[in-house]
Amino acid sequence: MFCSNCGLQIQPSPTTCPRCGHPVPPPVPAVPGLPFALENYRSKIRALGIVWLVYAGLSLMLGFAGLTFARAFFLSGGHILPWMHGSLDTPVPQTWIPMLHFAWIFVGIRVLITGIAAWGLLEHTRWGRIFAIIVAILGLFRFPLGTALGIWTLIVLLGFRNAMLYEQL
């Protein structure tokens, strides 16, 4: 314990500082159950980070599969399925191909920010909590998995108590 006036290290028992005579406040009692609450919160954050990482991998796989199918569909003129022997009544516009490039970039950015949020939570970084909250808000629009994960993240990370517990991790 240190004196708040002169900075001298003092024992917790005196009521005044031996050097400057400044009154020493009584020692603050330990918060009951804090280690248990901290370990409980640590396990919640770890589970949340792992689920965000799984969500990033799932988004990558589904985005890759969907965009690969869309590219094959557009390049084949709309008849890539075995039972479609003729072309579509209206040809597929070739201007949609550049839109697929934009979709690849969008999927990549989404997977990247989701992975960064997961890593920030798993490493308990200072910015990880705020970044995960932002990603969770954006994920609310990705029904149903993104919405559920976003709501869970907001429940676990928002609030004064949760902010203080995260800071102590």
What pLDDT, in 10s, does the model give residues 84-133? Answer: 555 555 566 667 778 888 999 999 999 999 999 999 999 999 999 999 99
Structure pTM? 0.71
| Interatomic CA distance for residues 22 and 75, integer angstroms | 82
Ramachandran sector of residue 158 (left: φ over 0; alpha: ψ -120 to 50; beta: rest): beta
